[in-house]
Amino acid sequence: MGTLTPMMQQYVDTKKKYEDALLFFRLGDFYEMFFEDAKIASRELEIALTSRDCGLDEKAPMCGVPHHVAETYVSRLVDKGYKVAICEQVEDPALAKGLVKRDVVRIVTPGTIVDGNLLDEKSNNFLASIYLDEYGVGLSYVDNSTGEMFTTEFIGEEENSQRFVLDELGKIMPSEIVCNKGFTRDKKMIGVIRNKINPYINVQEDTSVDVESSKDSILKFLKKDDLENNRLKEKIYSVLSLGKLIDYLRDTQFNAIDHIKELQYYEPDHFMLMDINTRANLEIHETMRSKEKRGALIGILDKTQTAMGGRLLRKWLEQPLLDKKQIESRLDMVEFLGNNPFLLEEIKDILKTIYDIERLISKISNGNPSGRDMLALSQSIQNIPQLKGILLETGLKQFNRLQEEMDDLRDIHQLLTSALDENPPLSVKEGGIIRQGYNEYLDELRVSKTKGKEWLARFESEEKDRTGIRTLKVGYNRIMGYYIDIRKSSVDQVPDNYIRKQTLASSERYYTTELKEIEDKILGADEKAIQLEYELFQEIRIQIKKEIQRLQKTSKLIAVLDVVMSLAIVSNANSFTRPSLNTKGIITIEEGRHPVVEATIKHQLFVPNDAYMDTRDHMVHIITGPNMAGKSTFMRQIAIIVLLAQIGSFVPARNADIGIVDRIFTRIGASDNLSQGESTFMVEMNEVPNILRFATSKSLVILDEVGRGTSTFDGLSIAWAVVEYIANKVKAKTLFATHYHELTQLQERLQGVKNYTITAEEQGDDIIFLRKIIKGSTNQSFGIQVARLAGIRKEVIQRASEVLATIEGSHNINMDQPIEQKNQKQMNLVDYRKDFFIDRIRNIDINGLTPMDALNTLNNLVEDAKKLKE
Ligand code: ADP
């Protein structure tokens, strides 16, 4: 056993402080990892694992990456769920006495990535902090790459707090969470979060929670500002979560948080609420099955030209408005641009030239911007004066206000164009960034550099003449500096004042005192120029850093313009119409369409449908009709039209008058969800009870085949009870698609319930879907025809037809009977059900079940077996 070398000791000491992170340890031009970290990194990054003497008997496993490409490797590790601590040499190795000092300068975590190829340009990357206890919850979150920070809180029973925070998390989809222990107590909720959001979770001890120290952290962060100004004075829960967020940022970013300027407190009930499942079911950001943007609503809506606009559009979709005036103000802008296509094109052309200003300035403020980043900023702001001109000319109140608030940033553009070379290199340490004429001394140094080249040329020709050696050459390399190269054959003609420098196979190299002088001048000037350029670049960087707030504000305004422009483009291209809004709770849609389905079916015509819903006589729609008839599409299109209207977008309909809704809920029958690989447990978390509890008379509720996941009898009873409860108590506008035909009896029994069906026609063995929704009901399922459409084997379908005929012959349901009695009258179905039951057991794919699924399946089977026996 030896002892660790001093350098390895330094490594081990540093690593001890950052045990939960992989340590990137700077050694010269590389970041090295050792021991366990090296093994992990070499596996995850697929780079070679080597080893290095560390003073102990066994060598230390080691792997490394070159420093100039480190960012990509760091991003990859973070994307795989690791934290990475970057340890730099914090003193100049040339000046260090003994071991170079090293220290961790930054910790990269999933929620704090600033730059890196893994950030989706059009999505925010949020780090969230949560403090939850039995009386309330605070939620704060920040996008370190754009500098936006938000906080909110909810006071109420723990269960409601959980629901609240889950809905908010579903909205912001953080990639990392810092939370207190109290938040993690409910394993079910954490399960949902892991499954649906999959963030990196840092749990902190509750003992470290302290309102006063949180306030201190916040005040220090806000600098001159105070809590009162930020509406945080009475918001203990917000304060607790925000304090932790700021502390965590400081711990990981080492105070490089000056770019985070905008702290916004918001009341969550200022926006329409949707839970995490509703967002997924409506396929707003991605499709349920393939998790892709294509085929999702955003895929149709996003014609934004800038990254800021793309992110803001997402935010608008996540936070639809409730205020009629605010919505109409957005609609005015969309309408104006839609009616002025030339203007729209002009704006679009300018927006196209704008890069991601928000992320550029974060990088300029904290990261290592290159000359090219600066240039991109300069190009992004150069057309803002022109943009302002266009907005002013519109004469529209909203656009005039936008232009008034928009800073033309001429001074910053002026600074950047006068300072930056048009074609700067990537590195900021090699010169070539600063433009001629920006700095006099730099220009002088550059002159002596070019002059030096002239002197050299003259020196060479003079020496040729003087020595008579025609092959004499002056050359340069980085190690040797300048030299005179003489072929071996001419060595005897070399004059006395030549001093030998190096011997090569075919030539000798010399220098003279004169050459040395020239060399000093050239190299000195070059070195000085590069150093000066670097300093000038840093000065510009700091100057821009001072203007961050102006830049951030203007990029926000550009984002707004970009979003309304995108909405105008989309409504023109897809024949959307401007909705009117009311606060009477009445939804009237004429010829509504589902924008995504309409775009996907291409060759076929989409059949538009009307809808009328209110809170009295047309409250609950029971929708029956065969599978594949278009029930889900119809229900979702209503929800999407309402959602679009409330973000201030035009809607896919001929006419729409939308009663503003406070929440949209959607719930899909368990069997549908199960087919997408969700465990029943997950489904439970967002059970119907939640809807019944949180929906109000102003909500829109969509229930698609609810009750299907359990056995038939249970399912029907649940569905029945749910409709009753909604119609009697909740009074939310509700669309309920079901294959339980028995539910249509409710129309007669309850006020506000209306039956609808989607038409289909049988033509021989085939089925023609007419896709029109009409009043009334149907109990024809056309299941067999649908199966044929789905490509099920002919003989199976034939056999199914026979079975169906037998069952139908023996089974006559009397619609007027209460359901309790009916169950007993269906005894002649039991044999058929038994067969079916056995088949179900036979077909269970045991290997494909999670333990949880297995338990649930077993439970369902036991329940059904009991019922068969009864
Ligand atoms: P259901 O919920 O009744 O089983 P879906 O709503 O899932 O049926 O619709 C099935 C398919 O029918 C959709 O994927 C779409 O291709 C087509 N479809 C639905 N509604 C319409 C419509 N109004 N016009 C044209 N095609 C439609």
What separation in angstroms does the CA of 376 have from each of 369, 371, 384, 423, 559? 11, 9, 14, 11, 17
Percent of the chain with pLDDT over 90: 50
What separation in angstroms does the CA of 174 have from each of 129, 145, 194, 199? 10, 13, 11, 6
pTM of the model: 0.81
- What ligand 1 atom has the least distance to the C-alpha of 636? 6
Ligand 1 pocket test target in 603, 628, 786 with most atoms within 8 Å of CB: 628
Residues 6+ positions from 820 with CB-CB distance below 8 Å: none
**Whether pLDDT at 870 is above 50:** yes
Identify the pLDDT of residue 801: 64
> 120-270 has which CATH code?
3.30.420.110
pLDDT digits (tens, 9 = 90+) for 259-296: 887 788 998 888 999 988 899 889 998 888 777 888 89
pLDDT band at 826 (very low <50, low <70, confident <90, very high): very low
pLDDT digits (tens, 9 = 90+) for 102-130: 999 889 899 988 765 668 888 899 999 99
Identify the pLDDT of residue 289: 78
Identify the pLDDT of residue 674: 43
**The sheet that has 580-582: what strands, in order across it?**
580-582, 655-659, 587-592, 609-613
Q: Hey, whose CA ends up nearest to atom 4 of ligand 1?
A: 628
Identify the pLDDT of residue 271: 93
Instruction: Please give the torsion angle defined by the CA atoms of residues 862, 863, 869 and 870, in that order, rounded to the nearest 10 degrees.
Output: 160
The residue among 826 and 18 whose pLDDT is bigger is 18
- What ligand 1 atom has the least distance to the C-alpha of 626? 3
Between the two ends of the chain, the Cα-to-Cα distance in Å is 76
User: 3.30.479.10, 1.20.1730.10, 1.10.1420.10, 3.40.50.300: which CATH number matches 323-409+547-574?
Assistant: 1.10.1420.10
687, burial (CB in 10 Å: exposed 0-12, middle 13-18, buried 19+): middle
Please, what is the average pLDDT of the chain? 86
**Whether pLDDT at 819 is above 90:** no
CA of 682 to the centre of ligand 1 (A): 27
Q: Of the ranges 14-28, 407-421, 774-788, which one carries the lowest mean pLDDT score?
A: 774-788
CA of 319 to the centre of ligand 1 (A): 28
**Whether pLDDT at 155 is above 50:** yes
- What ligand 1 atom has the least distance to the C-alpha of 705? 2
What separation in angstroms does the CA of 76 have from each of 13, 45, 731? 26, 8, 50
The secondary structure element, H or E, covering residue 218 is helix 211-222
Q: Of 121, 132, 391, whose CA–CA distance to 240 is shortest?
A: 132
Identify the pLDDT of residue 415: 95
CA of 632 to the centre of ligand 1 (A): 7
Identify the pLDDT of residue 669: 64
**Whether pLDDT at 550 is above 50:** yes
The secondary structure element, H or E, covering residue 65 is strand 60-66
Q: Of the ranges 79-83, 259-263, 515-519, 831-835, which one carries the lowest mean pLDDT score?
A: 831-835
Q: Hey, whose CA ends up nearest to atom 19 of ligand 1?
A: 630
Identify the pLDDT of residue 179: 94
Q: Which residue has the tokens 């690593």?
A: 15
CATH H-level superfamily of 580-781: P-loop containing nucleotide triphosphate hydrolases (3.40.50.300)
Domain coordinates in residue numbering, the chain: 6-108, 120-270, 323-409+547-574, 440-541, 580-781, 822-869
Q: Hey, whose CA ends up nearest to atom 23 of ligand 1?
A: 607
CA of 590 to the centre of ligand 1 (A): 18
Identify the pLDDT of residue 180: 92
**Whether pLDDT at 828 is above 60:** no
Q: What are the φ/ψ torsions at residue 142 (nearest 5 degrees)?
A: -140, 145
**Whether pLDDT at 671 is above 50:** no
Identify the pLDDT of residue 679: 47
Average pLDDT over every residue of 183-204: 89
The residue among 833 and 857 whose pLDDT is bigger is 857
Q: Of the ranges 323-332, 439-448, 534-543, which one carries the lowest mean pLDDT score?
A: 439-448
CA of 758 to the centre of ligand 1 (A): 10
pLDDT band at 792 (very low <50, low <70, confident <90, very high): low
Q: Of 169, 157, 136, whose CA–CA distance to 237 is shortest?
A: 136
- Report long-range pairs for 684-687 (Cβ below 8 Å, ≥24 apart): 685/188, 685/189, 685/191, 685/192, 686/192, 686/275, 686/276, 686/277
Ligand 1 pocket test target in 281, 282, 597 with most atoms within 8 Å of CB: 597
According to CATH, the topology of domain 440-541 is MutS, DNA mismatch repair protein; Chain A, domain 3 (1.10.1420)
Query: Is domain 6-108 classified as CATH 1.20.140.10?
Result: no
pLDDT digits (tens, 9 = 90+) for 60-92: 999 999 988 888 899 889 888 899 999 998 888
Q: Hey, whose CA ends up nearest to atom 13 of ligand 1?
A: 630
- What ligand 1 atom has the least distance to the C-alpha of 593? 23
Taking CB atoms and a 6 Å cutoff, what residues make up the pocket around ligand 1?
A: 597, 601, 604, 606-607, 625, 627-633, 771
CA of 848 to the centre of ligand 1 (A): 30
Q: Hey, whose CA ends up nearest to atom 18 of ligand 1?
A: 630
pLDDT digits (tens, 9 = 90+) for 458-474: 999 999 999 999 899 99
Q: Hey, whose CA ends up nearest to atom 10 of ligand 1?
A: 628
**Whether pLDDT at 307 is above 80:** yes
CA of 770 to the centre of ligand 1 (A): 10
Percent of the chain with pLDDT over 70: 87
What separation in angstroms does the CA of 267 have from each of 164, 324, 446? 12, 17, 59
Identify the pLDDT of residue 713: 65
Q: Of 825, 771, 304, 339, whose CA–CA distance to 572 is shortest?
A: 339
699 within 8 A of 729, measured Cβ to Cβ = no
Q: Hey, whose CA ends up nearest to atom 25 of ligand 1?
A: 606
- What ligand 1 atom has the least distance to the C-alpha of 625? 3
**Whether pLDDT at 827 is above 60:** no
The residue among 693 and 614 whose pLDDT is bigger is 614
Q: Of 786, 784, 775, 792, whose CA–CA distance to 808 is shortest?
A: 784
Q: Say how far apart CA 778 and CA 774 lie, in whole Å.
A: 11
CA of 627 to the centre of ligand 1 (A): 9
CA of 633 to the centre of ligand 1 (A): 5
Q: Do domains 323-409+547-574 and 440-541 have the same CATH topology?
A: yes
pLDDT band at 602 (very low <50, low <70, confident <90, very high): confident
Identify the pLDDT of residue 829: 41
pLDDT digits (tens, 9 = 90+) for 705-742: 876 655 566 677 778 888 998 999 999 999 999 888 88
Identify the pLDDT of residue 796: 65
Q: Of the ranges 445-449, 640-644, 682-686, 822-826, which one carries the lowest mean pLDDT score?
A: 822-826
Q: Hey, whose CA ends up nearest to atom 26 of ligand 1?
A: 606
CA of 589 to the centre of ligand 1 (A): 18
Identify the pLDDT of residue 817: 39
CA of 28 to the centre of ligand 1 (A): 62
The residue among 611 and 226 whose pLDDT is bigger is 611
**Whether pLDDT at 225 is above 50:** yes
Q: Of the ranges 45-49, 229-233, 646-650, 751-755, which is most confident? A: 646-650
